[in-house]
């Protein structure tokens, strides 16, 4: 694992430029009207001259008429009752809930998403969906404003990543892999081990603090089998246009099809108990 800047320099044969990244994206098949969900691991590339900004600029140079989506999650706004990494003492929970600041999509900094999505959120024309926990940063260069529609209820399919599958969208892993793929979570609700929960959330909407109902799924079993879903997808689509890879610097970059991934993940989650019992 590359950790320090010195290690990055030592492992890099030649500094990576924005143009190198543009060439790699085009080689993967991205075009001006592509619609993509992007996950990045900056340290995988080696020495990029302008770091995360070269990645974002390259994406925007290639995709001039489409859509780019990155995670902008703020999991600290979820119910502390369910926190696990780390959990908090039970006697803290009511105090945290009472004093929790309402979510403001204009100022809250995303958590655990890496430097590239955080920088992406500051770019002109990038909008953030108004979801206190699972917000997304959306660069929408189409004439369709519904790309930023994002329901607070997980049983409703009003979500930029559902729309991505409906619009023949792709998922791009830049130096990372299926383990970081937000879209896989969208199919977990079909697992037989799922339990729907209801809660309320505070957020700022049109300059006012409001309280909204929120529904989400709690899982009674370990169904986070991203590795198995990845294996099934690769077995099905390796060697086809639905699974393309290139090297950019030291990073392996992969482009997959959103709808095809959902189909495989859906079947896995729906049949999870049957699979594990055999």
Position with higher pLDDT, 192 vs 273: 192
What is the 8-class DSSP label of residue 153? B
Average pLDDT, the chain: 90
Number of domains composing the chain: 1
* Bridge partner list, 199: 214
Dist CA 58 CA 116 (whole Å): 12
**pLDDT recorded at residue 224:** 63
Dist CA 94 CA 96 (whole Å): 5
Indicate whether 218 pLDDT > 90: no
Q: 157, 163 in Cβ contact below 8 A?
A: no
**pLDDT recorded at residue 221:** 55
Average pLDDT over residues 31-35: 98
Dist CA 130 CA 128 (whole Å): 6
**pLDDT recorded at residue 220:** 60
Phi and psi for 185 in degrees, rounded to 5?
-60, -25
Residue 147, token pair as written in the block: 């790309």
H, E, C per residue of 15-77: CECHHHHHHHHHHHCCCCCCEEEEEECHHHCCCECCHHHHHHHHHHHHCCCCEEEEECCCHHH
Q: 209, 202 in Cβ contact below 8 A?
A: yes
Calculate what percentage of the chain has a pLDDT beyond 90.
66
Largest CA distance in the chain: 54
- The model carries a pTM of 0.91
Tens of pLDDT along 136-187?
Answer: 999 999 999 999 999 999 888 899 999 999 999 999 999 999 988 988 888 8
Indicate whether 97 pLDDT > 80: yes
Domain of residue 51 covers 5-277
Indicate whether 1 pLDDT > 70: no
Tens of pLDDT along 38-95?
Answer: 999 999 999 999 999 999 999 999 999 999 999 999 988 888 888 887 889 999 999 9
Dist CA 69 CA 128 (whole Å): 10
Angle between helices 51-62 and 18-28 (to 10 degrees): 40
Is 209 strand, coil or helix? strand
Indicate whether 226 pLDDT > 90: no
């Amino acid at each position: 694992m590359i950790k320090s800047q010195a290690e990055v320099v030592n492992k890099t044969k030649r500094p990576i430029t924005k143009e190198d990244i543009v060439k790699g994206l085009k080689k993967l098949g991205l075009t001006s009207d592509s619609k993509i969900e992007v996950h990045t691991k900056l340290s995988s590339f080696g020495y990029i001259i302008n770091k995360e900004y070269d990645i974002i600029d390259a994406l925007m140079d290639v995709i001039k008429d489409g859509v780019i989506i990155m995670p902008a999650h703020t999991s600290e706004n979820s119910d502390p009752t369910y926190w696990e990494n780390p959990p908090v003492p039970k006697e803290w929970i009511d105090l945290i809930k009472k004093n929790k600041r309402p979510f403001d999509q204009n100022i809250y900094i995303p958590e655990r998403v890496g430097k590239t999505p955080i920088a992406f959120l500051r770019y002109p024309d990038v909008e953030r969906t108004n979801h206190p926990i699972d917000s997304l940063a959306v660069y929408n260069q189409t004439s369709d404003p519904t790309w930023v529609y994002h329901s607070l209820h997980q049983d409703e399919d009003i979500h930029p990543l559902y729309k991505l599958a409906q619009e023949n969208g792709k998922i791009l892993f830049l130096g990372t892999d299926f383990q970081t793929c937000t879209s896989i979570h969208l199919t977990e609700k079909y697992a037989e081990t799922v339990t729907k929960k209801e809660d309320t959330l505070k957020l700022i909407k049109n300059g006012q603090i409001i309280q909204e109902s929120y529904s989400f799924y709690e899982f009674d079993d370990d169904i986070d089998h991203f590795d198995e879903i990845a294996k099934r997808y690769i077995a099905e689509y390796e060697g086809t246009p639905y699974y393309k890879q290139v090297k950019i610097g030291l990073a392996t970059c992969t482009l997959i099809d959103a709808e095809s991934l959902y189909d495989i993940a859906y079947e896995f989650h729906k049949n999870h108990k049957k699979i594990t019992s055999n």
